[in-house]
Amino acid sequence: MEATRSRRYGTGDDVAAEVRQAVRAAVWAPSVHNTQPWTFGVHGSRITLRADADRRLEAADPDGREMLISCGAALFTLRVALRALGREAHPRVLPDPDRPHLLADVHVGAPIPVDEHAQRLYAAVRYRRTHRGAFKPTGIRPSLLNALRLEAEHEGARLIQAVEGHTQQALAGLTQAAEHLQRMDPAHAAETARWAPAPGSTRSDGVHQSAYPGWTPPTDPHFPGRDFARGHGWGTVSDEPADPSTGLVMIIATPGDTPLDWIGSGQALQRMLLRAAAEEALAAAFHTQALEIPELRELIRTRFTNGHYPQVLLRLGIPAGPDLTTIRRPVNEVIVEEHHS
Ligand SMILES: Cc1cc2nc3c(=O)[nH]c(=O)nc-3n(C[C@H](O)[C@H](O)[C@H](O)COP(=O)(O)O)c2cc1C
């Protein structure tokens, strides 16, 4: 995406075009099972982000926590796009306690000078991808890791790395236990099936076979993926990488566990993912199964995140394996033109 560099101050049409362009970027945020659980109301220089509760995962996400993390990621993308397009963005998060699905009200402000950092992040919006498999054994610069930690802190979250071998093995084991428990549970299995369409599907949401490998090389420790293929052998064909690695194991956690913390976690997630993608072509593989089972989430909170509430568990590294693709709904399905009297 090329940012608009022209500075035609002030006409309403400019703002309308920039608002649409920013929404077009925001939909490329990650969302659990690619549910894309959001709508964007646009009215002049205001954008209202709402959660689309019909897209919440009833079995995996009864409280809407992951739905709000996903929307938080979209909100950060919207902010970064506006800045890259040369517009100040003033978001008010959860502006009305009586309307819990109204997640943010973003006022698009005056033109600002071109912000090159925002433009680099904005450019990464379209090539950032969820990875599902092994990473290359390459390490990550400590200075970048530190920068990613700070990015998360700016949004009120912590990025906690599981450094110790036993901690990583325990988290991998808990992920495996969660994956088995979910496969055993008919409601969970049906929900995964609903969001993982069969090959040939023309749907523009969900996790398609072009988004996951048909086979993932074992790593040590090994974090199992979701059962998108459900025994059908679906998935993208991949070769065995030379030296498959787990990558860095990380948890995004927050001091509280309220809708505000969930939206903040999503903003932190996308903020650090875009920085990681822009600076070193790093990608994340998410493994949030254990965080969807309250007892396991509580165990992770008390044992591994120092009492902070774990929101997202991920591995980070340079992807090994096939290039995967992802899909989004047309932007017209998520933009609502609002006319206030
Ligand atoms: C809160 C959250 C939880 C997620 N959990 C998983 C997961 O457990 N396994 C997985 O493969 N992907 C997971 N994802 C990634 C989504 O499936 C992915 O963002 C979506 O399919 C869109 O693809 P993209 O990120 O490549 O654009 C998660 C994403 C979010 C935001």
One domain, residues 61 and 178: no
Tokens 């939206």 identify what position?
263
Task: Residue 159: give its domain's CATH number.
Answer: 3.40.109.10
Q: pLDDT at residue 4 above 60?
A: no
One domain, residues 107 and 233: no
pLDDT at 12: 62
In a domain, 340, yes or no: no
One domain, residues 194 and 300: yes
Q: Whose CA is nearest to atom 30 of ligand 1?
A: 32
Name beta bridge partners: 336.
41
Q: Which domain holds residue 49?
A: 12-128
Backbone angles phi, psi at 195, to 5 degrees: -100, 5
One domain, residues 178 and 106: no
In a domain, 251, yes or no: yes
One domain, residues 170 and 101: no
Pocket test for ligand 1, best of 28, 33, 76, 314 (most atoms within 8 A of CB): 33
- Residues near ligand 1 (Cβ within 6 A): 30-34, 66, 69-70, 73, 129-130, 132, 207, 211, 225-226, 286-289, 312, 326
One domain, residues 200 and 258: yes
- φ/ψ region of 145 (left if φ > 0, alpha if ψ in -120 to 50, else beta) reads alpha
Total tally of structural domains belonging to the chain: 2
One domain, residues 65 and 206: no
One domain, residues 168 and 107: no
Tens of pLDDT, residues 264-278: 999 999 999 999 999
Q: What's the gap in Å between 287 CA and the centre of ligand 1? A: 8
Q: What's the gap in Å between 24 CA and the centre of ligand 1? A: 19
In a domain, 335, yes or no: no
Q: What's the gap in Å between 237 CA and the centre of ligand 1? A: 20
Q: pLDDT at residue 10 above 70?
A: no
pLDDT at 131: 97
Backbone angles phi, psi at 161, to 5 degrees: -90, 135
Q: Are 37 and 29 in contact (CB under 8 A)?
A: no
Report, as an integer, the average pLDDT of 328-336.
Answer: 97
Q: pLDDT at residue 227 above 70?
A: yes
pLDDT at 238: 83
Q: What's the gap in Å between 41 CA and the centre of ligand 1? A: 24
Residue 24 CB coordination number (10 Å): 19
SS3 107: strand
From 66, 93, 128, give the residue that closes a domain: 128
Q: Whose CA is nearest to atom 13 of ligand 1?
A: 286
Pocket test for ligand 1, best of 32, 68, 69, 127 (most atoms within 8 A of CB): 32
pLDDT at 163: 97
CA distances (Å), origin 216, targets 48, 129, 176, 220, 285: 40, 17, 15, 12, 12
Tens of pLDDT, residues 288-307: 999 999 999 999 999 999 99
Name beta bridge partners: 315.
249, 285
In a domain, 337, yes or no: no
Tens of pLDDT, residues 54-71: 999 999 999 999 999 999
In a domain, 7, yes or no: no
**For residue 240, with 0-12 CB atoms within 10 Å meaning exposed, 13-18 middle and 19 or more buried, which class applies?**
exposed
In a domain, 163, yes or no: yes
Tens of pLDDT, residues 230-249: 999 999 998 888 899 999 99
Report, as an integer, the average pLDDT of 105-119.
Answer: 95
In a domain, 137, yes or no: no
pLDDT at 9: 44
Q: What is the mean pLDDT of the chain?
A: 94
Report, as an integer, the average pLDDT of 113-134.
Answer: 96
One domain, residues 113 and 181: no
Tokens 């690695």 identify what position?
245
In a domain, 133, yes or no: no
SS3 309: strand
Pairwise CA distance, residues 117 & 109, whole Å: 19
Tens of pLDDT, residues 171-218: 999 999 999 999 999 999 999 999 999 999 999 999 999 999 999 999
One domain, residues 112 and 185: no
Q: What's the gap in Å between 66 CA and the centre of ligand 1? A: 10
Pocket test for ligand 1, best of 31, 175, 212 (most atoms within 8 A of CB): 31
One domain, residues 202 and 309: yes
Pairwise CA distance, residues 158 & 152, whole Å: 6
From 128, 153, 181, give the residue that closes a domain: 128
One domain, residues 104 and 150: no
Q: Whose CA is nearest to atom 2 of ligand 1?
A: 32
Pocket test for ligand 1, best of 286, 296, 311, 329 (most atoms within 8 A of CB): 286
